[in-house]
Amino acid sequence: MATAMPPTVCWAQTRAGPAVRLIDQTLLPGELVLKDCYVLEEVCEAIKSLRVRGAPAIGCSAALGVALAVYTSGADSTSELISVVEAAAEQLAATRPTAVNLFWALERMRQLAQQSTDLPPEDFRQVLLEEAQGIVDDDLDRCRRIGQHGVELIAKGANILTHCNAGALATAGYGTALGVIRAAHQQSKDIHVWVDETRPLLQGARLTAWELEQEGIPCTVICDSAAASLMQAGQVDCVVVGADRITANGDVANKIGTYAIAVAAARHEVPFYVAAPLSTLDFSLASGQEIPIEQRSSEEVCYLAGRVADPICPEGADVYNPAFDVTPAELIAAIITEVGVARQPLAASLAGLSSEDSSAGCCSSS
Ligand code: MRU
């Protein structure tokens, strides 16, 4: 029987004080545990260690983290609280470099703080919390709309391949790539999902398969290295993935391994779709070559599920562990957003769609 899923991340009033409450995704699928972060440093640690992860969910957590910083600060003037916001934004911005939603959300919080200098401290705290909660609610709504647009691209009986986790766990709920898949399932399209396990941290096997099982959506976990041969065998009708950052020309940064899938999909004429909210657009960057790619620790590659007693590499092996790669726009059939589907040429199509919504491509970031 399916476990009711709590929000990926939310604000909580606990006996010990206000907290940012999140599902600790490092413990899934074994245990569904909620972690309450009572201080900003715990929110930063949760983002860095991937307790909360996925571009939109990182943005939501960062916004709530800023609110937590002002609620836990003893400052009794609004000018001091503005300094607290600036310092919190700086700390949060240093957690992970690739997902632009983090910087987008921080910019929204900073701008609101700068516009609220006239408010007394308690009202200032309140408006910042409302803004953070608004970012969370809005993300859920946008994911549902992505699902509604994307479902039109999914044929009845389709075998869909996805990589990493772009589901409810990676957003405020519902998901982007999994939002499209959920919507197709809800419309009884009789779909089946191939789930890439997604080495090294197994977001596909641990999180996507768990989410799909909760929903009763038929799925099969595969090793990442099995994807191309499944396409060769005609077993994949389309690929749907999420995104961490989309540049002005339509290049897409997403979980490492996404590019290899896009190359294989092009070879086998399988449509490759990206699903993402407009908050993932970064029009300040001309192309994907400018996207900062996070490098993570060698331990993630050398030990399975953190089992340090049981290394899978010789001790001291040199390891290269980029968390993301960039798929060039030319390999992408369409980008599904909450305001519609961008098609080739993606640069013009994305610019047109984003002009319909003020949240698009708004921030410059590291
Ligand atoms: O390192 P992660 O787990 O944060 O990477 C997540 C991804 O690459 C997702 O595909 C992306 O953030 C989109 S989530 C809707």
* Domain containing residue 308: CATH number: 3.40.50.10470
Please state, in angstroms and rounded to a whole number, the distance separating the CA atoms of residues 226 and 208.
17
Looking at the fold, whether 51 and 189 belong to one and the same domain comes out as no
Q: Is 55 in the pocket of ligand 1 (CB under 6 A)?
A: yes
Please state, in angstroms and rounded to a whole number, the distance separating the CA atoms of residues 64 and 59.
Answer: 9
Annotation marks residue 123 as catalytic? no
What six digits make up the tokens of 273?
């779709």
Residue 269, Cβ neighbours under 10 Å: how many? 7
* Residue 39 and residue 84 share a domain: yes
Q: Are 253 and 325 in contact (CB under 8 A)?
A: yes
Continuous segment of H or E residues that includes residue 273 = strand 272-275
Same domain, 255 and 154: yes
Q: Evaluate the CA torsion angle 112, 147, 238, 355 in order and state its sign.
A: negative
Could you tell me the pTM of the whole model? 0.96
Q: Is 206 in the pocket of ligand 1 (CB under 6 A)?
A: no
The answer as to whether 364 is a domain residue is no
* Helix-then-strand count for the chain, H and E: 12, 14
- Residues 21, 122, single domain; the answer is yes
Check whether residue 158 and residue 247 sit in a common domain: yes
Mind listing the pLDDT tens digit of every residue in the chain (366 residues)? 455 799 999 999 999 999 999 999 999 999 999 999 999 999 999 999 999 999 999 999 999 999 999 999 999 999 999 999 999 999 999 999 999 999 999 999 999 999 999 999 999 999 999 999 999 999 999 999 999 999 999 999 999 999 999 999 999 999 999 999 999 999 999 999 999 999 999 999 999 999 999 999 999 999 999 999 999 999 999 999 999 999 999 999 999 999 999 999 999 999 999 999 999 999 999 999 999 999 999 999 999 988 999 999 999 999 999 999 999 999 999 999 999 999 999 999 999 999 987 666 555 454
User: Are 157 and 297 within one domain?
Assistant: yes
Mutate to test the pocket of ligand 1, among 24, 161, 165, 211 (most ligand atoms within 8 A of CB): 165
Range of the domain at 306: 147-354
Do 164 and 178 lie in a common domain?
Answer: yes
Total domains in the chain come to: 2
